[in-house]
Structure 1
Amino acid sequence: MIGVVAVSHSARLGEAALELALQMVHGGGAQVRVAAGAGADADGTPILGTDAVSVASAIDDLATECDGVLVLMDLGSAVMSAELALELRTSDVPVRLAPAPFVEGLLAAVIAAAAGGSLGVVATEAAAALDAKTGQLQGDAPVDTASVETATAVPSSAVPASAAPASAAPASSPPEEPRITRRVRVRNPLGIHARPAALIAEASAGADVRLRRLPGGPEASAASLSRLLVLGARRGDEIELSAPDGDEQALAAIAALFDDGFGEGVDDAPTSAHSGPPAAAPAAVPAVAPGTLLRGRGVSAGVAAAFALTLAPPVLEPDAATVIAEDEREAEASRIRQACVAVAADLRSRAAASSGEARGILEASALLASDPDVVAEASALTRDAGRSAARAIWEVAAAHLQALESLGGRTAERAADVRDVRDRVVAEILGLAVPGVPQVTEPFVLVAHDLSPADTAALQGGRCAAIVTEQGGPTSHTAIIARSLGLPAVVGARGATGIAAGTLVLVDGDRGTVELEPTRERIAAATHAATVTPFDGRGRLADGSSLPLLANVGHATDARTAAAAGAEGVGLFRTEFCFLDRTDAPTVAEQVAAYRGVLAAFPGRKVVVRTLDAGSDKPLPFANADHEQNPALGVRGLRIARRNPQLLDDQLRALAEAASAESAHVEVMAPMIATVEEAREFAAAARAAGLERVGVMIETPSAAILAAEMFEVVDFVSLGTNDLTQYTLAADRLLGELGDLTDPWQPAVLRLIAAVGSAGRAANRAVGVCGEAGGDPALAPVLVGLGATSLSMTPRSLGRVAAALGALTPQQCRAAAEAALAAATAAEARAAAAVAIAR
């Protein structure tokens, strides 16, 4: 399975795009995470921006379940954050950054992933996502061709060959095996647009089903959203379906979709304009088999296992045919007001008995119930048209629901609140029991289509262990209250309502999964995996010798998180985060303020600051040229000072001012050092600015080989294992298909690290590791054995690395390092180190 990460400046945009994409897949087969926004300000207002730590966390979250991860980005710094996230992540799952349109690409990628496509296939579908729209605009209206090309073009170096747009791929030769065919007609009003295409892709179930528009139209694979849209099939068009012998079931399933009009109505059976549910009882939901794994969106962390409990039956739609006699309408209308008053009073009573988020949400529901406009509109329907009180409320609510849902995003999530109030008022009018959560004494997992605020708030202090809903989003009241109550919750889990009551369910609110009838061993493993390994704030080996464990941070929020996690200091402060979303460099004063925010989180402790590392995969408009033939080997890191020395001078001055204003022990280092001359010049500039402890990054093989000479001019070095591996193996670390080469366990990389460690011991100087390898619990002992004197990582890795090192002596670390160095391959190095440690 392939996971998808959507990186957006706007939380609302990210959530809305995800909601649109997930509405297209109905089998729960897509794993998607959104890393959007940059938190909130003091007033709670969302901040536009992106956070590489959040992106890295999303990738690592998907890595536990997925064979690869595709990352889509909206614009600007989202690309930089996604690229930096590859340094921050702790997993080694193949990752590809897609140069695809954000919304269309996310839609295509999610559908391709849900259909079981490989990372290459999912990337191809995302890259081709604009083909249908471009083709339609070029065919139907005058188009500024230059503008279209500008909007869709990307540098060829940014797109792997395997991710070329689907439309550019050569037509596949006809299959040799016998194929069966079937002709169908497009019957729904809008033809094959995104939703029908998604249903076709899902129904193909991996079979080689092809569609061709007759006569003589283009052909498309049923599994490809982009090619299905390019078909341009409209109502009345005839389509030929074909599949190999043996795939009749998939062919029949797709034909049935056409016959049904994809659930949108057909030309000879118009759909009803009424927005409410049918008057008859809902159709039975297909049962979900034991052993099934459902996927949704984890909105409240934690793991819990208990038996499923479903909500009481919903209130059915009141009969529309009933007409109240004119002389009875005034009395009937008064029942509306009485019922609304009663429901509002009940909700206010519930609110008074609740606290926190639950209380506020229930109070808002009480206001909905007593809304004078709703009462007036429903009463008018009864008086003027003879609607029953229950029917009048239902129709007024239907109009409100339609208005909310048409707005999408967070506003659409409020529709559940309106439905809840509607059902309560209707139940009050008809004298029915209000649907809701049954009272039970045993722990349970509450499973529902969606939950109302009152239902969710009623869980406070009860026996509910977790929540699973088929609908809902991260800002729904289900999510908000679940987090406030500390209940694991998964929303948007397609098929959840098919879980039979009494089924043992394992809910993982971190990974967004729901497992049916798990074994005891599986429950124990999931519970253990969800347990955060504590870190007491002191890294050490088994003999008590100190090994500082530091954090990698990008801004003040990261620093505060790292300090709370127990980090002993900062081993890498990536200052380029302070330059994001800008077309010009920040002033010295702006930089001082940003740097002080990080330093203030670590009073009296070490903070190692890396000067601006722009260029290559992290370009900034005011620092880098628009185009370089080979940016990874071009003007990046310290080399920017060759073109713009003022950038470096201002940054060193700002760092010195920030250091003098805070009590943190500031050390500064330069990235992309290749020669001793560069190291010497940087050290002189930093010390002239008032910074005493100066070092360099070891990211190039030349710097590693010259480590002994580097120590003659600097006080410490820090190994950037990500770039060191990239340059040693001549393999782009952002290219997923070269993941086997960009592995820090590669013997060539380990031997360069060993050379640096040896030089550090000889000079009695510090050798830090701040690359991704520093947070790997398996590799950390080897790095220590090779001479690392500190390790820096993401805060979430501190506990795991501390536990791994705390169980080993320095001798065991050296033995593991020697065994790995003697290996010929990365796999052999891993195995040899593990054997050495186990002895």
Structure 2
Amino acid sequence: MTSVGVVAVSHSPALAEAAIALALEMTATGAPAVIAAAGTADGEIGTDAARIAEAIAEADSGDGVAVIMDLGSAVMSAELALEFVDPNLAERTRLVAAPFVEGLLAAVVRAAGGASLAEVAEEATGALRPKTDHLQSPTPDQDAAGAASAADEPPAPSDASSATATVRNVAGLHARPAAVIAGAVASFDAEVTLLRDDHAQRPPVSAASPIGIATLAAGPGTVVLIRATGPQAAEAVEHVRALIDEGFGEEPAEGQAPTGAAAPAPARVDPTPTGPIGVSSGRVVGPAVVLRRTVREPSASDRVPEDARDGAVSLLREASIRVAERYRERAASVTGQRRTVLEATADMATDPTLVGGVEALIRDGGLTPTRAAWQVSAELAEQYRAAGGLIAERATDLLDVRNRLIAELRGEEPPGVPDRREPFILVADDLAPADTVALDPAVCLALITEQGGPTSHTAIIARELGLPAVVGYPEATSIADGDLLLVDGDTGEVVVRPDPAAQATATGVITLPPFEGPGQTRDGHRVLLGANVGAPRDVARAVERGAEGVGLFRTEFCFLDRDTEPSIDEQVGAYREVFDGFAGQRVVVRTLDAGSDKPLPFLTNDDEPNPALGVRGLRTARRHPDVLERQVQAIARAAEGATADVWVMAPMVATAAEARDFVTLARGAGLATVGVMIETPAAGLTAVEVMREVDFVSLGTNDLAQYTMAADRQSGDLADLANPWQPALLRLIGMIGEASRDTSGTPVGVCGEAAADPDLACVLVGLGVTSLSMAARAITRVGARLGDVELVACRRAAEAAVSAADPAEAKAAARAALG
């Protein structure tokens, strides 16, 4: 098989590296040698013939080299470079007149498949054809031709394949399914397009473009025509057909027939319920800060001279890459849903449908990059809104990309949430991920938006941050900055300028003073109340709210968004920041909980068939024991110079033998107090045996509920099963409490969300839990509730809850017992 090399010649090193990274992501196997020849020798913007000659020689394996250039002097420098290389190498080097990003991607993908130099060059040269076909508006003659019979169409290529699929999931081809399809087709050697069966006269969209797929507005019942050409056309078509027909694992729309049955008529997805909707619990009072996040509309009359348009396109591409990089930087600083939605928005910034449409307006119409970005984004956003449902909610994200791209092109600061030190309630038309990712729950009390629904990013992130939130509030942005607001995230109520009586009904924890401790029941039974800490930045908030230490220090922040394991020294520095913040107090460190929803390229497998039940937590040490060994060494080193009382525990333990092995490892590194997390029913059922091996245990109630109820904790459809008030879960916790008494009082902590519920916290204490760890903002309420009841009442509440038939009955019975 041939192995053609590829050289990317660009004025910008950042552009070249990003374009190469994009191209390599599209190759399933056998990536060719791809070398960047970008910038000048002194690191400035420009091109250098000598650097290009060196890159050609490096990329050559004997089968030839395809050189893809961006613009202007890049072409001349590449031509000059051929004079510097060996004449035989020059003969097997092709300078390809292809668009830089698209041509590079096409060349790399084709070369990875073993194509010849001529075939690679031809593929790169034709890389713009799918885009121009898509963007060209059909003439009336073309409309008529599109309606003509299939007999008038040219015969399909011999390597072509096609099929139809009916959209079955209730939300249609919204952002996530679009991203799934785009990621899937990248692994096939085929060009795949999608077209709605009822829009046959329109040009198809590339299945590699999430934005393009979303603009199909394909709701449940829509029939999609899948076409592909290329060596793996049939396989690609069948894979995409199966994805659509199976509904991407999402809830099927009402009335949708199973695969193989007759498809119902196309249905429009209902957007979101009308009127204010409470999407995240809590009732708070605070002053409004109104976010009017937009940029100045660019002039529609300004034009770019024809000889400057290539340069304008380069500026656009570089700006889009920088915007995407900034989204990803923000994503790297967070976890969970916030990280997911930011990464998806980063992909929007460089999506071929968006960037390609802007480029076309610059080249063909001479529009400025800012005006072209404004117009294309507006058109795409309108298509999103017309589609309804979840797709409509992504229009906000797209317009945020537009605003940040325009600000980047102008050299201005992007719009966003104001920097405030005093507590406030954030009010906006809608909130994009980039707005909400930096919100500090210590000062942001609640969220109110005009748009959005229960599945919007505002709702998702509000729940993750524990902020009360109301969406769909009419004319929210007509509220004046500084107006006092009462917000109820349960009922959807918003009161502007509430009177003192209404203000007194607020119960949000931020309006309460910090917890002053100690944590204990009214009769003096001690219960340590700690904070969950996910990174050093959380320390100040936990200390401010009165935490009595850290009951769960998540160490994943050191490892996430990295291709390689952090060094021991890096880990020591990060851990010590947290230890120093809690001098003289307990800090419980959880070792790396990788896997499941926290995959790591150097530790976990991408093809894990069932991540939640697979190699995660302590189990990663089965394959990579050295990673755990180095982390334990780093924790021990960081503890040496600290006055904090450092405890360490391992996640996802199922057997006493696993607990014993971890204790041996940790004590061997010099750590004195070693425990494990009980997150599996197996560990709960054998709690006595596990406790005989360790100094303490901590219950991760989120995962313990997930595994006890066999209900994915990420599934909204199964939220009732994952309820921490489930009697089955409480009975299992009760068994663990009994095991503690049977082993002379082994400490039992809870560090899941259950600890933040004041009534449930009392039940947990009644079941034998000795410490509770939660989000810092919840400590005051939990501490106050415990201080109002005696231990005997906690035990009565626990007995009532475990005897109940369902969560609602358990909660009501416990409250009655607590009084």
Compute the TM-score of the two structures, normalised by the length of structure 2: 0.48
Compute the TM-score of the two structures, normalised by the length of structure 1: 0.47
Which structure carries more relative contact order (alpha carbon 8 Å, separation 6+)? Answer: 1
